[in-house]
Amino acid sequence: MCGGGSDLPHGKGIRCAGFSLDAVAYCTREERAGGLELDMRESPPAYKHLLYGECRCGRRHGTDRRPAPIAHAATASGPTPDRLDVEERHTIYSAALALLDVRRGTHDDLRRRGLGDETIADVGYRSIPLKGNAQTALMAAMRERFGDSTLLRCPGFHDKNGRLTFACAVGKRDGYVVPYRDERGRVTGFQVRLFVGGYQTPAGTKVAEIYHVARSGRETGDLYLTEGGLKSQVASSVGGIWCMGIPGQALQGAHIEVIRRLEPRRVIVAFDQEPNDQTRQVTLRCCDLLWDAGLPVYSSKWEGVL
């Protein structure tokens, strides 16, 4: 679908997800995504391209004839083409976190993972608001302070159809906000950790824009690269290591630039330890990309559950 990377120097930068169907193909290359939204349910997270007609990435990849009835799961990445920079997003996210609280279920889950109350407060883990008055009050306060047009440009405050909203708890569907903070402590984005159902990534999120850097004060100069803001924070707090978390396993060029800027002694790639070829392939791909960027890279795996 991406042409085998013939337009890239020495064939570098190939990041195919490794699977396709008759009507669709999945690719992890954000620069080829156009208006497609990253599907975080895939492993690795990937963009879903149509192999017939005009794909929503803005290109044609194959025939004009639809091979079979199939729903197009791709949606626009956001209601407006312009995006907020990290300082603007940090201001908005910080204001929202200040309006949220930490309910018992959230506190218990984070403590069970090994995080202390100080870390929970400092990072900004917060329960998603309850549907009804709490969610309405949050959105009213955010709209009054920032305005609708600004919130529509900020992932997390609108759905895929461009309607203003924020994740909320309904019945047994509950969870909490997992902020991703950069090396300066700015909130670059967030995911929602559901107690049942894993993680949700807000509509409009650009994976390359969000990452989490966690320092323990006891690190040796080795930077561990792992999946997820929460896992990286737990690993740092419990293991006393320097850790960077990215959404899923989708290492992007922007993430590599951040790592180079951090100047670690070594980069140690440590993703989930499931014994499957997909995880091994993703680990090798990340190691190759980091090595090509001139970084000393190693791979490892976690012991226990984070």
Last residue of a domain, one of 58, 77, 96: 77
Identify whether residues 206 and 282 lie together within a single domain. Answer: no
Last residue of a domain, one of 210, 233, 265: 210
Domain range spanning residue 136? 79-210
Identify whether residues 42 and 99 lie together within a single domain. Answer: no
List beta partners, residue 199.
193
AA letter at 123: V
| Banded model confidence at residue 59, pLDDT cuts 50, 70, 90 | confident
Question: What is the pLDDT at residue 184?
Answer: 95
| Percentage of the chain lying above the pLDDT 90 cut | 59
Question: What is the pLDDT at residue 275?
Answer: 65
Identify whether residues 155 and 121 lie together within a single domain. Answer: yes
Last residue of a domain, one of 210, 238, 268: 210
Identify whether residues 62 and 122 lie together within a single domain. Answer: no
Identify whether residues 246 and 281 lie together within a single domain. Answer: yes
Question: What are 72-117's pLDDT values in tens digits?
Answer: 333 333 334 578 999 999 999 999 999 999 999 999 999 999 999 9
Identify whether residues 126 and 158 lie together within a single domain. Answer: yes
Task: In whole angstroms, give the CA distance from residue 303 to residue 273.
Answer: 8
AA letter at 132: G
Identify whether residues 137 and 252 lie together within a single domain. Answer: no
Question: What is the pLDDT at residue 248?
Answer: 80
Q: Give the CA distances from residue 52 to residues 2, 71, 129, in Å, rounded to whole numbers and listed in that order.
A: 14, 12, 41
Q: Name, in order, each residue with C-beta under 8 angstroms of 30's C-beta and a sequence gap of 6 or more.
A: 38, 47, 206, 207, 208, 252
Question: What is the pLDDT at residue 26?
Answer: 75
Q: Give the CA distances from residue 172 to residues 126, 143, 156, in Å, rounded to whole numbers and listed in that order.
A: 17, 28, 21
Question: What is the pLDDT at residue 274?
Answer: 66
Give the pair of three-digit tokens for residue 187.
Answer: 């909130």
Question: What are 140-196's pLDDT values in tens digits?
Answer: 999 999 999 999 999 999 998 899 999 999 998 999 999 999 999 999 999 999 999
Identify whether residues 137 and 182 lie together within a single domain. Answer: yes
Bridge-based pairing state of the strands 242-246 and 222-227: parallel
Query: Among all chains, which residue has been given the structure tokens 């959404």?
Result: 247
Question: What are 255-276's pLDDT values in tens digits?
Answer: 999 999 999 999 999 987 666 6
Which 3 state secondary structure label does DSSP give 125? coil
Domains in the chain: how many in total?
3
Task: In whole angstroms, give the CA distance from residue 63 to residue 77.
Answer: 25
Write the DSSP symbol of residue 129: P
Q: Per-residue pLDDT averaged across 220-228, rounded?
A: 92
DSSP annotation string for 214-251: E--S---SEEEEEE-HHHHHHHHHHH--EEEEESTT--
State the CATH number of the domain containing residue 241.
Answer: 3.40.1360.10
Q: Name, in order, each residue with C-beta under 8 angstroms of 188's C-beta and a sequence gap of 6 or more.
A: 86, 89, 90, 180, 181, 182, 209, 210, 211, 212
Q: Which of 180, 195, 196 is nearest to 247 (CA)?
A: 180
Cα of first residue to Cα of last residue in the chain, in angstroms, is 36
Identify whether residues 11 and 84 lie together within a single domain. Answer: no
| Banded model confidence at residue 45, pLDDT cuts 50, 70, 90 | confident
